[in-house]
Amino acid sequence: MDFERARQIVRSEEIINVLWGGAPVWIEHLDAEKKKAIVSPLDGALNPVEVPVADLVESPAPLHM
């Protein structure tokens, strides 16, 4: 995902499905200088982690947990 799309998702009032490594995540914070995001896995298995925004994928279909 490009950084501008990640910024749009964070600012959106809609819920937009995002995946990291195939798992659904919530974008907590974006760092424009590093082009990284702090994400929280929706399954609660991990604490928030910093990942490259380029590793995030927008999921076109609703996520099932």
- pLDDT value at residue 44: 81
Task: Give dist(CA 64, CA 4) in Å, integer.
Answer: 26
Segment 11-64, tens digit of pLDDT? 999 989 999 999 999 999 999 999 999 999 998 877 999 999 999 999 886 655
**Strands of 36-41's sheet in order across:** 49-52, 36-41, 23-31, 18-20, 56-58
What pTM was computed for the model? 0.87
Domain 3-58: state its class: mainly beta
- The three-state secondary structure class of 20 is strand
Task: Give dist(CA 34, CA 59) in Å, integer.
Answer: 23
